[in-house]
Chains A and B, each alone.
Chain A
């Protein structure tokens, strides 16, 4: 069974930083691109960033480019999202996900971790 388990969410003040982690099991982690998606309270899904299986091919949404950094450690089957200069509008549930792609129909999501940015 494929599992994605996020951690690292919590309450942080505006301007602060937080690092999210996502441990993946049940698959050959290094073979898959992985993405971060968030959902603000009562709002829709927003794709944030993705990284290729080898750690190359990194992409960001404009809303987080320059503030967030995606990375992965294939030896630990772990995906990361370093979030700096956090804003109130970054408050959301953050999901890691292996999303369906051009070459693979696999699609798996974690349960999400809540990040709250508040004074």
Chain B
């Protein structure tokens, strides 16, 4: 199975900061990586698909990059609504999917 490792587990930042979250796959997944945002008590929402494609309706301050085994999610200028937990998910072909363990983005 493909394992996904996110870092850091927790990130403290301030409004206006630029932040980066990393996700590493245990084997190449080419570009089949998604990023989700989840707020307490809610289902996750898709931010980025195929590593770098912004889902419709998602603010342009979110961006994704990477391929193979190394991926990043960047928020260019944090807004109050962005404090949440973020997950990466691999979908390398239609088979077993895997989520990263999550990164909680907290207000500093």
Using a CB–CB cutoff of 8 Å, the interface residues on chain A facing chain B are 33, 35, 37, 44-47, 50, 52, 57, 59-62, 95, 97, 99-102, 105, 107, 109-112
Query: In the complex, are the beta carbons of A102 and B94 less than 8 A apart?
Result: yes
Q: Which residue of A lies closest to B101 (CB)?
A: A44
| Residues of B in contact, count (CB < 8 Å) | 27
CB distance from B11 to the nearest CB of A (A): 15
Known: A45-B44, A105-B49. A59 touches B93 (CB 8 A): no
- A102 B55 Cβ-Cβ under 8 A: no
Residues of chain A lying within 8 A (CB to CB) of residue B45: 109
List 27 A-B pairs, Cβ < 8 Å.
A44-B100, A45-B36, A45-B38, A45-B87, A45-B102, A46-B99, A47-B89, A47-B97, A50-B96, A52-B94, A59-B94, A59-B95, A59-B96, A95-B43, A100-B55, A100-B91, A102-B32, A102-B93, A102-B94, A105-B49, A105-B50, A105-B55, A107-B34, A107-B55, A109-B45, A110-B43, A112-B43
Q: Which residue of A lies closest to B47 (CB)?
A: A107
Distance in Å from the Cβ of A94 to the closest Cβ of chain B?
Answer: 11
B39 to chain A: closest CB distance in Å? 13
On whether the beta carbons of B91 and A101 are closer than 8 Å, the reply is yes
Contact call A61/B96, Cβ cutoff below 8 A: yes
How far in angstroms is the closest Cβ of chain A from B9? 10
Does residue B81 face the partner (Cβ distance < 8 Å to A)? no
